[in-house]
Amino acid sequence: MDLSVVIPTFRRHQKLRACVESLARQDTHADFEVLIGVDGEDAGAERVARDAWGLAGRDPSRLIIVQGPKAGLAAVRNRLIPHLRGAVVVSLNDDVIVQDGFLDAHARAHAATARPSIIVGRTPWRVHEPDSFFARLIRETSMIFFHDVMERDPDPARNWGFRHAWPLNLSVPARVVRDLAGWTVFPATYGFEDDDFAFRAAQRFSCPVLYRPSALAIHDHAMTPHEYLEREYRLGYASWGFAHASPECARAMFSRDITAEAPYSREFTRHQLADARRAWSDFRSLAAHPPDVFGDGASALAVSLAYQQHLPLKRWAWRRGHLHASEGLPMDSGAGLEPLFTPAAPNPHTADAPEAPPARTPRGVARSAAG
């Protein structure tokens, strides 16, 4: 068998159905199987997947569903490894809808490479109605993924590196997956398993990360400004355990030892809170504006400026998560982000005093993720 498609899922039946239906419609590449890992108690996932697969007339033996306790995306993908029959593993999220020729594009990409490679396909965001300037900002900038950067460099030989290996649309030889024993399960199970996997693949097999936009899938994931910040908080929280468990990869990603930055995170979140609150007020309003609110002539400039202006807020949320993990607090984005949404009572003794700067200029902490 050529391809094994692996999909972790949990209680997103409508999205899972659309994903499986899109795979069942693939008619340019027939030699594939679909393996679905259910992350926790979800009685309806198997029924939805088998209905979608069966209604398309597909061979039921080519659909494998593995149930297991709640453990996170990395652990769920690892549960599927013993069941793989394909030479190439195609990793998907359950909220992507593959387009015509998707599997064939992944298969051809591997057939054309002289060495084991990680292939990343193009996964643009689905446009939901009513559309908004905030949604456009996510689609057209590097707030979450870096497709905007990759689209500007069409060189098919460019190695994009381990930071760009997003498993929502990725393929890799099955022998690489088996040799690396799959994806690392970190203490906080959200984030960084994709970076760590690609980093280890580069070390062990010299695997490049190659971008192939012809492997096209639509990412059906609407997001609010609040959810975006919750994601940044979780990534900051997960970075602590990631850096302890995989120090070499973490140092390569952040260019420093972030396990020593708890004092800095504490000072940063304290001193930058007022700026982050002001940024939040503007940032959340972007979801209420149409995508062309600034007019066609100033549109590209407005997107660029809005992206730059949101970075202090993004960094504050990340640092807040990092601080909570370093203090041994449970991951709780609600409590973690609460100071942003609760204006501080004015202090008559310090109201006019300037805010002291943090110990040093914060470095960017944007990174990839599973969506």
* 365: in domain: no
Residues 205 and 72 in one domain: yes
The mean of the pLDDT values for the chain is 91
Question: What pLDDT is recorded for position 11?
Answer: 94
Residue 143 lies in a domain: no
Question: Which DSSP string do the residues of 335-349 spell out, in sequence order?
Answer: HHHHHHHSPPPP-TT
Question: Is residue 121 in a domain?
Answer: yes
Binned at pLDDT 50, 70 and 90, residue 297 comes out as low
Q: Are residues 104 and 66 in the same domain?
A: yes
- Other residues' Cβ atoms within 10 Å of the Cβ of residue 335: 13
How many residues belong to the chain? 371
* Domain end residue (candidates: 198, 219, 240): 219
Report yes or no on 298 lying in a domain. yes
Q: Are residues 204 and 241 in the same domain?
A: no
Asked if residue 116 has pLDDT above 90, the reply is yes
Do 10 and 40 touch, CB atoms closer than 8 A? yes
202/283 same-domain check:
no
Q: What is the mean pLDDT of residues 70-82?
A: 96
Q: In what order do the strands lie in the sheet with 63-68?
A: 63-68, 32-39, 3-9, 88-92, 169-173, 118-122, 209-219, 96-98
Q: Does residue 149 form part of some domain?
A: no
pLDDT of residue 40 exceeding 50, the answer is: yes
Whether the predicted pLDDT of 369 surpasses 70:
no
39, 162: one domain: yes
Q: Are 6 and 80 in contact (CB under 8 A)?
A: yes
Task: Tell whether 289 and 196 lie within a shared domain.
Answer: no
Do the Cβ atoms of 266 and 323 come closer than 8 Å?
yes
Q: What is the pLDDT of residue 354?
A: 42
Minimal CA–CA distance to 310: which of 339, 340, 334?
340
Q: CA-CA distance, 364 to 143, in Å (whole number)?
A: 11
Q: Do 189 and 326 fall into the same domain?
A: no
Q: Are residues 9 and 124 in the same domain?
A: yes
Q: Are residues 256 and 289 in the same domain?
A: yes
Q: Do 114 and 74 reside in the same domain of the chain?
A: yes
124 and 234 inside one domain = no
Q: Based on the fold, state whether residues 184 and 330 are members of the same structural domain.
A: no
CA distance 217 to 70: 27
Determine, yes or no, domain membership for 99: yes
pLDDT bin (cut points 50, 70, 90) of residue 362 is: very low
Band of the pLDDT at 368, cuts 50, 70, 90?
Answer: very low
Report pLDDT digits (tens) over 218-229.
999 999 999 999
Residue 146 lies in a domain: no
d(CA 76, CA 70): 8
Asked whether residue 277 is assigned to any structural domain, the reply reads yes
Give all strands (DSSP E) within 144-269, no chain letters. Answer: 169-173, 209-219
Whichever domain contains 43, its CATH number is 3.90.550.10
> Residue 202 CB: number of other CB atoms within 10 A?
19
Residue ranges making up the domain that contains 259: 225-341
Q: What is the pTM of this model?
A: 0.90
- Cα–Cα distance, 133 to 125 (Å, whole number): 14
Does the pLDDT of residue 294 top 80, yes or no? Answer: no
What total number of domains does the chain contain? 2
Q: Please compute Rg for the chain using Cα positions.
A: 21
pLDDT at position 200: 98
